[in-house]
């Protein structure tokens, strides 16, 4: 199946980023959020991002206008009519996602593929809330979507080969590199990344090196663009802790024990850049 129109649920950080990636690749978008203000904010974010690309000589004004013309904003799932794929990128809340997916599943034609951009909820579980577990899949984009080359494609237990092929083809048409992953907590990238950040906190807590030296070590010794502690401050220490707690409970394996220092910083309200202080002060 060749996908020419994509419906996107949620016009927030990820939803508008996915809309931009689709629109600049010639794919029509219907982006739905709960309130008109949220839809307009999402479209304005895309416009601003495209304007920055014009300033950098990456696209022309005509490219921007053509991309924006491909994005239709709405507050009504009925407008998904005509889309071959719906990508759910609403707030990360299990109950909310189940409610949205049941609603959309009842509205769109049986052949339509539904994907979720969830970071942490089981794709198999979300699929089971719909009547089309074989046409349900995970499409995990990275932030900021227009810049980041990776899409993790997560196959739920019942995802069909045809669904996987159609979504992989779309990811490639967006200029992304897809990797295919079986459903499990954290998928591949976050499963490796967040325990590495947690280990950096253990190293810090043991006083083995300063935060600056830990980050310099991982940047210069492993060619990482940013050190794990600086990255934790960007992601949010509370988010890192919550992810470790999910791994610990889901896998039941002590190797995912959150570092007590990470817990202590979160308890103190030192959540990273968003609170002005995490490992570093901003
Ligand atoms: N931010 C990231 O770095 C990142 C990276 C990968 C995946 N994700 C995942 O992407 C999803 C969205 O995250 P985000 O960062 O864009 O969140 P966000 O808060 O920026 O945006 C979520 C949007 O969903 C909208 N929404 C809520 N209920 C809705 C409904 N019933 N119908 C339509 N829209 C609704 C909200 O109004 C909001 O605009 C989450 O599942 C998150 O785990 C986020």
Confidence of residue 247 (pLDDT cuts 50, 70, 90): very high
Q: What is the 33 CA–ligand 1 centroid distance (Å)?
A: 10
Confidence of residue 241 (pLDDT cuts 50, 70, 90): very high
Distance CA 11, CA 90 (A): 8
For residue 45, the model assigns a pLDDT of 98
For residue 245, the model assigns a pLDDT of 95
> What is the location of CATH 3.40.50.720 in the chain?
5-182
For residue 199, pLDDT beyond 80: yes
* pLDDT tens for each residue of 88-111: 999 989 999 999 999 999 999 999
Choice from 8, 9, 14, 234 to test ligand 1 binding pocket (greatest atom count within 8 A of CB): 14
Choice from 17, 19, 20, 33 to test ligand 1 binding pocket (greatest atom count within 8 A of CB): 33
Q: What's the mean pLDDT in 8-22? A: 97
For residue 2, the model assigns a pLDDT of 84
Residue among 119, 122, 183, 198 flagged as catalytic: 119
Atom 11 in ligand 1: residue holding the nearest Cα: 89
CATH homologous superfamily of 5-182 = NAD(P)-binding Rossmann-like Domain (3.40.50.720)
What percentage of the chain exceeds 70 in pLDDT?
100
For residue 21, the model assigns a pLDDT of 98
Atom 7 in ligand 1: residue holding the nearest Cα: 119
4 among known catalytic residues: no
- The residues near 196 (Cβ < 8 Å, ≥ 6 apart) are 228
Distance CA 250, CA 259 (A): 17
Q: What is the 197 CA–ligand 1 centroid distance (Å)?
A: 24
* pLDDT tens for each residue of 128-179: 999 999 999 999 999 999 999 999 999 999 999 999 999 999 999 999 999 9
Q: What's the mean pLDDT in 22-36? A: 98
For residue 211, the model assigns a pLDDT of 98
For ligand 1, is residue 14 a contact (CB within 6 Å)?
yes
For residue 19, the model assigns a pLDDT of 98
Q: Which one is the CATH code of 191-274: 3.90.1150.10, 3.90.1720.10, 3.40.190.10, 1.10.1040.10?
A: 1.10.1040.10
Phi, psi of 219 (to 5 degrees): -70, -50
For residue 42, the model assigns a pLDDT of 98
Q: What's the mean pLDDT in 2-20? A: 97
For residue 1, the model assigns a pLDDT of 77
119 among known catalytic residues: yes
Distance CA 76, CA 149 (A): 30
For residue 36, pLDDT beyond 80: yes
What mean pLDDT value characterizes the chain?
A: 97
For residue 281, the model assigns a pLDDT of 98
For ligand 1, is residue 63 a contact (CB within 6 Å)?
no
For residue 257, pLDDT beyond 80: yes
Distance CA 233, CA 277 (A): 8
For ligand 1, is residue 186 a contact (CB within 6 Å)?
no
Choice from 36, 89, 126, 144 to test ligand 1 binding pocket (greatest atom count within 8 A of CB): 89
Distance CA 215, CA 225 (A): 10
250 among known catalytic residues: no
Q: What's the mean pLDDT in 199-227? A: 98
CA-to-CA separations, 233 to 17, 191, 247, in angstroms, rounded: 22, 18, 20
> What is the location of CATH 1.10.1040.10 in the chain?
191-274
Q: Report residue 104 as tokens.
A: 């959309």
For ligand 1, is residue 31 a contact (CB within 6 Å)?
no
For ligand 1, is residue 101 a contact (CB within 6 Å)?
no
> What distance lies between CA 162 and its chain's CA centroid?
23
């Amino acid at each position: 199946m060749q996908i020419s129109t994509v419906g996107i649920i949620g016009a927030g950080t990820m939803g508008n980023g996915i809309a931009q990636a689709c629109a600049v690749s010639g794919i029509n978008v219907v982006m739905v959020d709960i309130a008109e203000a949220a839809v307009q904010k999402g479209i304005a974010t895309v416009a601003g991002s495209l304007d920055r690309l014009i300033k950098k000589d990456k696209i022309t004004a005509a490219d921007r206008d053509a991309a924006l013309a491909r994005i239709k904003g709405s507050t009504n799932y009925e407008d998904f009519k005509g889309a071959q794929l719906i990508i759910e990128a609403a707030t990360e809340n299990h109950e909310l996602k189940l409610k949205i997916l049941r609603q959309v599943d009842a509205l769109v034609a049986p052949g339509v593929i539904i994907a979720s951009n969830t970071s942490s909820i089981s794709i198999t579980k979300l699929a089971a809330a719909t009547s089309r577990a074989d046409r349900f899949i995970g499409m995990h984009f990275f932030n900021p979507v227009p810049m980041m080359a990776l899409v993790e494609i997560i196959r739920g237990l019942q995802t069909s080969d045809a669904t996987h092929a159609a979504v992989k083809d779309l990811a490639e048409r967006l200029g992304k590199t897809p990797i295919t992953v079986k459903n499990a907590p954290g998928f591949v990238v976050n499963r490796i990344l967040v325990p590495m950040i947690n280990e950096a906190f253990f190293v810090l807590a043991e006083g083995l090196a300063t935060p600056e030296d830990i980050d310099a070590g991982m940047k210069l010794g492993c060619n990482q663009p940013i050190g794990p502690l600086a990255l934790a401050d960007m992601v949010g220490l509370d988010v890192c802790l919550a992810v470790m707690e999910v791994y610990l409970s889901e896998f039941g394996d002590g190797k995912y024990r959150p570092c007590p220092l990470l817990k202590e910083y979160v308890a103190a309200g030192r959540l990273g850049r968003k609170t002005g202080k995490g490992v570093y002060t901003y």
